[in-house]
Amino acid sequence: MIVGVLALQGGVEEHLTALEALGATTRKVRVPKDLDGLEGIVIPGGESTVLDKLARTFDVAEPLANLIRDGLPVFATCAGLIYLAKHLDNPARGQQTLAVVDVVVRRNAFGTQRESFDTTVDVSFDGVTFPGVQASFIRAPIVTAFGPTVEAIAVLDSGEVVGVRQGNIIALSFHPEETGDYRIHQAWLGLVRKRTELAI
């Protein structure tokens, strides 16, 4: 199983470490040819506006969006969630997204870097609950609305939606890769395997 990590900026190495620890073969994705043969892709956190600009600069945005629309499994964290969203409450000037997940996202919903925090979050999908996932919220977004094809899979005690699923896409506001809690990576790899087996 070959899984890519969009390696334009942000927490690339942390996701590579997580995936390789779980037995996946990984590839850094920077240009369109790096997408060939992938069975899934991770979009890491970082700075969503920089991610957008670099993806367009390296001509990877459009082919990536097309693959996702065709069912390529995606695991996204923080800025990755922003980059997948169809709508942003508060986009930066000129900011674009892949517009492949039917959600409205608010950037920097908890404030600046100084308001970053760690907590635990229960994450539930496919009838399984992963209790107390260790989560770092770093200038994190939240989901303020979502369409009928999207389910909320992680909600803070204060009510904010911080994780969603749409088909083969898992997108989180927070960073489990920063804490060494790889349970959601492992569950997502299970989705990748199922899709690969169905295609055989």
In the predicted structure, residue 200 carries a pLDDT above the cut 70: no
In angstroms, the CA 70 to CA 18 distance is 26
Q: What is the mean pLDDT of the chain?
A: 95
Q: Is 62 annotated as a binding residue?
A: no
- Its pTM stands at 0.95
User: How much is the average pLDDT of 5-18?
Assistant: 96
In the predicted structure, residue 51 carries a pLDDT above the cut 80: yes
In the predicted structure, residue 181 carries a pLDDT above the cut 90: yes
Q: Is 47 annotated as a binding residue?
A: yes
Q: 31-43, pLDDT tens digit by residue?
A: 999 999 999 999 9
A 10 A CB-CB count for 113 gives 8
In angstroms, the CA 84 to CA 100 distance is 6
User: How much is the average pLDDT of 113-130?
Assistant: 91
* pLDDT at residue 195, rounded to an integer: 87
Structure confidence at residue 1 as a pLDDT band (50, 70, 90): confident
* pLDDT at residue 144, rounded to an integer: 98
* pLDDT at residue 111, rounded to an integer: 80
Instruction: Return the residue matching tokens 């945005």.
Output: 61
* pLDDT at residue 130, rounded to an integer: 97
* pLDDT at residue 102, rounded to an integer: 99
Percent of the chain with pLDDT over 70: 99
Q: Pick the closest to residue 128 from 188, 196, 41 (CA basis).
A: 188
In the predicted structure, residue 157 carries a pLDDT above the cut 70: yes
Domain boundaries, the chain: 2-199
CB 106, CB 88: distance < 8 Å: yes
User: How much is the average pLDDT of 18-43?
Assistant: 98
CB 17, CB 175: distance < 8 Å: no
Class of CATH domain 2-199: alpha beta
User: How much is the average pLDDT of 96-110?
Assistant: 96
* pLDDT at residue 116, rounded to an integer: 87
Q: 55-90, pLDDT tens digit by residue?
A: 999 999 999 999 999 999 999 999 999 999 999 999
Q: Is 13 annotated as a binding residue?
A: no
Q: Is 139 annotated as a binding residue?
A: yes
Report the 3 state secondary structure along the chain. Answer: CEEEEECCCCCHHHHHHHHHHCCCEEEEECCHHHHCCCCEEEECCCCHHHHHHHHHHCCCHHHHHHHHHCCCCEEEECHHHHHHEEEECCCCCCCCCCCCEEEEEECCCCCCHHHCEEEEEEEEECCEEEEEEEEEECCCCEEEEECCCCEEEEECCCCCEEEEEECCEEEECCECCCCCCCHHHHHHHHHHHHHHHHHC
Q: Which residues are catalytic?
A: 78, 175, 177
In the predicted structure, residue 16 carries a pLDDT above the cut 70: yes
